[in-house]
Amino acid sequence: MLDHRYQTFLVLATTKSYTQTAQQLYISQPAVSQQIKNLETELNLELVHYERPHLTITPAGLELAAFIQRVQVQADKVVTTLQHPQKTRQVTFSTTLSLSEFLAPQLITLLQQQDYRDINCQVTNTQDALRAIAAGTSDFALIEGNFDKQQYGYEIVRQEPFVGVVAADHPLAQQPTVSWADLTAYPLISREVGSGSREILVNLAHAANVTFAEFPQVVTVNNLAAIREILLRGSGVSFVYRSVVADALQAGKLKVLPLQAGQLRHDLDLVYPRESYFAKRYRQWAAALQK
């Protein structure tokens, strides 16, 4: 949809090399340089700063490259939809591990009811889910982690309680109130670095002036079923979305800690490319999940 100079600049912004850009596009290196200079002149912007041997993309260039990437991904999807209408019954989305436990199954059921033929769900962490949207390998994502709201379209699906949890017979479960200082007497069971849940937990601890180093042990696990089992064995304290442990709470096997700081509710979002051609569809799905 954009002329070849924009495509050339996008490759250059990725490779940060005139030589590699020329090789990828099967054109000469002087041709690459000329296209970039023409684009900078037309836009009256410095996109590239080059001092041999270092090439850097300016802030304006980075923003333009992100825009070109979004336009290219969306244009490809729209053209594919027009050429092959049957592919509108296909959808690929990403979900973080926590949301794969309770929100993604609800969405898949909704898509099945709407007669989508091919439904592809990729479980990953927040950052990889966002990268998949930018690369066009994922149509949208269900995430709970933080993201740049200026770079993406999004709909808040719900505000889910993010709670401290222990086994029902754990010493902390018997206390009327619990402080963060109380928590640091026990092992902390946490998700892996890069997960939205880990990031939220780090921020919560920081707000309480507590670091992970203050816990006697930090056990990092990238599997929610394993975290639930560790908690049931009374081997520590963890923080998860309430829906992730709803069955165990109802059965009386786990207990939510009555933290003095109160209960945090965190936004769960359906995130998609900014100004997406399919934004109306995504908003409808988010609204359905809200109900």
Residue 44: give its domain's CATH number.
1.10.10.10
% residues pLDDT > 70 (the chain) = 95
Alpha carbon distance 222, 211 (integer Å): 20
For 104-144, the pLDDT digits (tens) are: 999 999 999 998 888 999 999 888 999 899 888 899 999 98
Alpha carbon distance 42, 119 (integer Å): 43
Structure tokens at 287: 């609204």
Residue 200 sits in the same domain as residue 154: no
pTM reported for the whole predicted model: 0.72
Chain-centroid distance, C-alpha 262: 26
φ, ψ for residue 271 (rounded to 5)?
-110, 140
Per-residue pLDDT for 147 more than 70?
A: yes
Structure tokens at 48: 């590239």
Residue 53 sits in the same domain as residue 97: no
Per-residue pLDDT for 88 more than 90?
A: no
- Beta-bridge partner residues of 26: none
Residue 103 sits in the same domain as residue 169: no
Specify the range with the lowest mean pLDDT, choosing from 2-6, 69-73, 84-88, 227-231. 84-88
Residue 153 sits in the same domain as residue 271: yes
Instruction: Indicate the SS3 state at residue 164.
Output: strand
Please tell me the predicted confidence (pLDDT) of residue 74. Answer: 73
Residue 146 sits in the same domain as residue 286: yes
Domain count, the chain: 3
Per-residue pLDDT for 85 more than 70?
A: no
Exposure string over 22-56, b if 16+ CB within 10 A, otherwise e: beebeeeeeebbebbeebbeeeeeebbeeeeeebe
- What residue type is assigned to position 129 of the chain? A
255: domain range? 159-264
Instruction: Indicate the SS3 state at residue 118.
Output: strand
Averaged pLDDT, 2-10: 84
Residue 125 sits in the same domain as residue 218: no
Alpha carbon distance 111, 105 (integer Å): 10
Half-sphere exposure at residue 33, Cβ-oriented, CA atoms within 13 angstroms:
8
Per-residue pLDDT for 152 more than 70?
A: yes
CA angle centred on 205, ends 218 and 200, rounded to 5°: 90
Cβ–Cβ < 8 Å for 96, 127:
no
